[in-house]
Amino acid sequence: MSKPEARLILQLAVALGGVLMAVCLLAWRAAPLAGVGLLVLWGIGVALIGVVCGLWLRRLHRDLAAIEAQLHAARMGHAEYAIGQNDEGAFSALHNELHHYVRQTTALRADLQRDRDRLSTAITDIAHQLRTPIAVQGNLVELLTPANAATTRAELLRQNERLAHLVAQLILLARVDTHTLSQVRTRVSVDTLLRQSLTPLAPVAADRGVTLDWQVPVGLQVHVNVKLMQEALINLFKNTLEHAPADSTVTVQASGTPISVVVTLTNTGAPIPPSDLPHVFERFYRGSQSAAGNVGIGLAIAQGIVTAGAGRLSVANVTGGVQVRVEWFQAPAAADPQ
């Protein structure tokens, strides 16, 4: 009986016994001949008080032990819900609150572990991706001679540009992962957005002899962060052009529905193997058809940007080629009142 809750119940029992005794004494003074009966009545009352307080104390200890066991289980990574403790008492409410707290803590612990694993994987992947251009630059410096200075300088510049682009893409990927992308959005013509995104890739299309079947309404608009969405579209155009056959046609279509704006990029290239299709948006994933030098983060970045911009990105094999589909869930500006 050393615990505080036990001492309080004991004190209550003693107080009730004292009150009962005082009542019996008053009754005995009023009726002296009833002394024996009052003594028996007092004994029965004291016994009942003891039994009730004992049962109360036992239940109190049981409920506290259950809560202690629940907290211990939570500390060990378990969050089971004991439905038997869910009655209408105060301890039930406390049990329910603890259960919700434990569930939230368990989820946070899982998120933290996932973030740690993701960070570890990202650091490993980044180190692997940076190793190649750094090693190439080191080799070029070691082999530098007056005779090959011009060609070596050009190659060093090319490798430096590749390294700078890779670092910029990795930084953007980190912003996607940490949900720190800018949410500032403006209305922009879909035609303008697509053409500006395609401009840096014009040499790629020209080198491969790829022509564009442009089916984009001039008046169609979308509400997005223009700079970020251009980054996403550049990656999508680059992927589509790189996997288009030489001297083929890439179809660029856009349309508006009452709830969304849809853009599709379709080439006539080989279908994506079924084993690769579920993984195309995974970071650093290089499928069997990946181009040389592809680090495997372009589609991951594009998906993160499109998703953050209230959109959805998908890639699918279609009849005669592969189609990239971007959908922004919003009313098309062409239908908006001015």
Residues 135 and 100: their CA atoms lie apart, in Å, by: 52
Host domain of residue 116:
106-177
Question: Does one domain contain both 210 and 304?
Answer: yes
CATH of the domain at 130: 1.10.287
Asked, for residue 264, whether it belongs to a domain, the answer is yes
Can you read off the two tokens belonging to residue 196? 């500006």
Q: State the DSSP code for 244.
A: S
Asked, for residue 67, whether it belongs to a domain, the answer is yes
Ramachandran area for residue 255 (φ above 0: left; ψ -120 to 50: alpha; else beta)? beta
Question: Does one domain contain both 209 and 330?
Answer: yes
Q: How many domains does the chain have?
A: 3
For residue 174, the number of C-alpha atoms closer than 13 Å in the C-beta half-sphere is 13
For residue 334, the number of C-alpha atoms closer than 13 Å in the C-beta half-sphere is 17
For residue 254, which of 332, 138, 165 has the smallest C-alpha distance? 332
Asked, for residue 92, whether it belongs to a domain, the answer is no
Q: Give the pLDDT confidence score for residue 122 in this predicted structure.
A: 67
Question: Does one domain contain both 238 and 303?
Answer: yes
Asked, for residue 30, whether it belongs to a domain, the answer is yes
CB 330 within 8 A of CB 280: no
Asked, for residue 90, whether it belongs to a domain, the answer is no
Residues 100 and 91: their CA atoms lie apart, in Å, by: 14
pTM of the model: 0.59
Q: Give the pLDDT confidence score for residue 49 in this predicted structure.
A: 83
Question: Does one domain contain both 205 and 153?
Answer: no
Would you list the DSSP string of 126-140? HHHHHHHHHHHHHHH
Q: Give the pLDDT confidence score for residue 157 in this predicted structure.
A: 84
Q: How big is the chain by its Cα radius of gyration, in Å?
A: 37
Can you read off the two tokens belonging to residue 81? 């819900």
Residues 212 and 84: their CA atoms lie apart, in Å, by: 67
> In the listed set 23, 58, 78, which residue is the last one of a domain according to the structure?
78
Give 10-residue mean pLDDT values along the chain (338 residues): 67 82 80 77 84 81 74 67 57 69 77 75 71 79 83 83 78 77 88 94 91 94 92 92 93 92 94 88 73 72 90 93 93 43
